[in-house]
Amino acid sequence: MGRVGRPRVAVLVESAHNARMQSKATTVAAYLASLPEDRRQAIEAVRAVILKHLDKGFEEGMQYGMIGYFVPHAIFPPGYHCDPKQPLPYAGLASQKQHMSLYLMGIYGEPTVRAWFEEAWARTGKKLDMGAACIRFKRVEDLPLDVIGAAFRKLTLRGYIAHYQSMLDTRGKGAGAATKKAASASTKGGKSVAAKKKASPPTGNKSSSKSSSKTSSKTSSKTGKASSKKVASKTTRSRGGIAR
């Protein structure tokens, strides 16, 4: 990650959404066929260098309206964390309105590799027009293709995935963080259930005790009433006899 809280692949996504010439082509061949001759030749020259030095496991296809190079779901099932349906972006190649662009997300996320890249580029005497991860060029002659090829050799599949996962873990979105959250939730849940069990009184004893006491109270009350009625009746009869 370059800037705090901003994932490196966001550079490619933002640029693709903001590009005025975002293509609707669904295949690389269709994309190339849609370009003007001079642009097509330049893009094909850069593409040839990429494919020659691209590490095994990466795939090429259309992604975010440009030629994309990515880690397929078969190798990295989670995909891009902001849009899991998308495979994890690695690089991009596009023809835009004012220039052409080459996106290198691995360089954006690796300060050491970026420093090497800028030094190697400077030694060629060519001017580097680069943002966070986007290299802008108007002609293929503006690019030191050997340096670009070396950069792709350095940015290996395994290294890229490891760095990406490390970035997610740092931001609390990695597999390790998810496991910790699940374990924490499980522990809290267990404690709360145990606490509830301790707090809950034994239902059977209290309820039967209450029921028994109510029954006994009602019975004694009825017995007392019946008894007093009998006594009153006897007294009345007795008084009646004396009066006579």
Count structural domains, the chain: 1
In a domain, 200, yes or no: no
CATH number at residue 170: 3.90.1150.200
Token digits of residue 189: 């849940």
Instruction: Print the domain residue range for 172.
Output: 10-182
In a domain, 127, yes or no: yes
Per-residue DSSP letter, 141: G
Residues 125-171 pLDDT 10s: 999 999 999 999 999 999 999 999 999 999 999 999 998 998 888 87
In a domain, 236, yes or no: no
In a domain, 90, yes or no: yes
Give the pLDDT of the chain (244 residues) as one tens digit per residue.
333 344 444 555 554 544 445 788 999 999 999 999 999 999 999 999 999 999 999 999 999 999 999 999 999 999 999 899 999 999 999 999 999 999 999 888 788 999 999 999 999 999 999 999 999 999 999 999 999 999 999 999 999 999 899 888 887 765 545 434 443 444 454 454 444 455 555 555 544 445 445 555 555 555 555 545 444 444 444 444 333 3
In a domain, 129, yes or no: yes
pLDDT at position 13: 53
In a domain, 199, yes or no: no
Question: By three-state DSSP, how is residue 74 classified?
Answer: coil
In a domain, 143, yes or no: yes
pLDDT at position 209: 47
Q: Provide the whole-model pTM.
A: 0.67
pLDDT at position 175: 52
What does the alpha-carbon distance between residue 204 and residue 50 come to, in Å, rounded to a whole number?
76
In a domain, 20, yes or no: yes
Question: Is the CA virtual torsion 39, 41, 44, 46 positive or negative?
Answer: negative
Residues 97-112 pLDDT 10s: 999 999 999 888 788 9
pLDDT at position 167: 85
Instruction: Please name the residue ranges forming H helices in 155-202.
Output: 157-170, 175-199
pLDDT at position 72: 98
Token digits of residue 42: 């330049």
